[in-house]
Amino acid sequence: MKLRIGTRGSPLALAQSRWVESRLKEIEPSLETELIVIKTSGDLFQNQSPKEAHEASLSPQGTKGLFVKEIEESLLKEDIDLAVHSAKDMPAQIPNGLHILAYPKRENPQDVFIGRGGILWKEIKPGQTIGTSSLRRQIQLKMAFPEVNAVPLRGNVDTRIKKLEEKSLDGIILAAAGLKRLGREIPSAHPIDLDAMVPAPGQGALAIESRVQDDLRLFSQILDHGPTRIAVEWEREFLKTLGGGCSTPLGAFAEIKTEGLEMRVFWSKEDGSRARHLKALCKDTSLRSSFIEDLARKVTA
């Protein structure tokens, strides 16, 4: 048996796909695999000017899904057999005929702050310039520190770290999971408290996508991590409830507790107005949809 695994070509995407590839071979030692690199619209987006990127983010699709669209098309055309995505890049709606085969155990979902000269998050001062890659992070940064300058920062993880020095930034914000998967140990990288920076839905998790018709249950049974699937699916339902593919900045993080499931959410308008954080506990998880709809109403009220 041979599995063709579709992936983006960034260092992080390749590291994630190679990890999945190694796990598949642990499950089935005789398995043949091939990584197939697919360039996505999101890769082109990262090389656009700030003006072009902003215009793209205002399209009906927004930026959500730009890193998976061409890979999903390859799955549907049967050019590949599996796709490895960062779950946070997945739009709320998956194309007919595809499904998430597995969510492996999630890495740290938090964002981290890397300050020039070891500056800590709590030490950020008015007027300092912080680079971030998303509107979600920019707005939450401004909620915590209204007088800082938040500037766009695109590119892969190494590029963003390099820009910390090249652009004379005072700090940057990255995802903790990306640093971990790349093996980047940065002593000055400090996790930002979830009360201050709610992650993107699915952040820290991988999503392994396949065709519904293909019988890959063996891999699903071994690779899928139940608590991660539950949490990410709650977060993705919140994303779907608020529009899924739009460019509205939002965050969601679900965590299983002894007494139920706790959700932290963030939402604001694109200009940063009406920005809000909310945290709520669902004691009866069978009421997921109504709980999330209520939470969405409250955070956008």
How far apart, in Å, are the Cα atoms of 84 and each of 27, 102, 161? 17, 10, 24
- Helices within 119-225 (DSSP H only): 135-144, 157-166, 176-181, 217-223
Which residue spans within the chain are E strands per DSSP? 2-7, 32-37, 82-86, 98-102, 111-115, 129-132, 149-152, 171-175, 189-191, 206-211, 250-257, 260-267, 276-282
DSSP 155: S
Go through 211-240 and write b for each residue having 16 or more CB atoms within 10 A of its CB, e for each that does not. Answer: beeeebeebbeebbbeebbbbbbbbbbbbb
Which helix (DSSP H) or strand (DSSP E) does residue 239 occupy? helix 226-241
- Tokens 């599996």 belong to 82
CA separation for the pair 233, 236 (Å, rounded): 5
Query: Which is the catalytic residue, given 81, 89, 111, 170?
Result: 89
Residue 158 designated active-site:
no
The residues annotated with a catalytic role in the active site are 89
